[in-house]
């Protein structure tokens, strides 16, 4: 089965966002106490995005949890940031848990 476009878009988006965030935190804030935790969270985005592109079902659940985590964290910052993460969360869930994308993940990962 050909990879649906939402899978491609979100997979690339997470790989890029995770990579850029990882590089930013290591380059600009390498000595902050929580840089290891932040880097691990960024690497989860890269890992999830890569395996989403490969068609692994667990990757979409990982990224949904990743987005949910960011909704909670952004609630401590601003209304605009929270709203942006909620919109991303809803778009991701709607796009990847409904056909045709959901059918892409039901079968074994493509070769």
Please answer whether residues 104 and 5 qualify as being in contact, where contact means their C-beta atoms are separated by less than 8 angstroms.
no
List the structure tokens of 65: 């949890």
pLDDT at position 29 is 77
Rounded Cα distance between 83 and 75, Å, is 9
> Domain-by-domain residue ranges, the chain?
5-103
Please answer whether residues 67 and 54 qualify as being in contact, where contact means their C-beta atoms are separated by less than 8 angstroms.
no
Q: Given pLDDT bands bounded at 50, 70 and 90, which one contains residue 92?
A: very high
List the structure tokens of 86: 């909620």
Higher pLDDT: 104 or 9? It is: 9
List the structure tokens of 32: 């902050």
pLDDT at position 24 is 87
pLDDT tens for residues 26-77? 887 777 788 888 889 999 999 999 999 999 999 999 999 999 999 999 999 9
Whole-angstrom distance between the N-terminal and C-terminal Cα of the chain?
10
Does residue 4 carry a pLDDT above 70?
yes
Percent of residues, the chain, with pLDDT higher than 90: 67
């Amino acid at each position: 089965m050909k990879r649906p476009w939402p899978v491609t878009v979100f997979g690339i988006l997470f790989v890029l966002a995770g990579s850029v965030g990882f590089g930013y935190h290591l380059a600009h804030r390498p000595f902050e106490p929580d840089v290891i935790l932040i880097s691990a969270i960024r690497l989860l985005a890269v890992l999830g995005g890569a395996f989403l592109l490969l068609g692994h079902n667990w990757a979409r659940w990982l990224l949904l949890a990743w987005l949910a985590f960011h909704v909670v964290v952004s609630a401590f910052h601003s209304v605009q940031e929270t709203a942006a993460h909620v919109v991303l969360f809803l778009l991701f869930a709607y796009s990847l848990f409904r056909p045709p994308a959901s059918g892409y993940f039901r079968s074994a990962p493509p070769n």
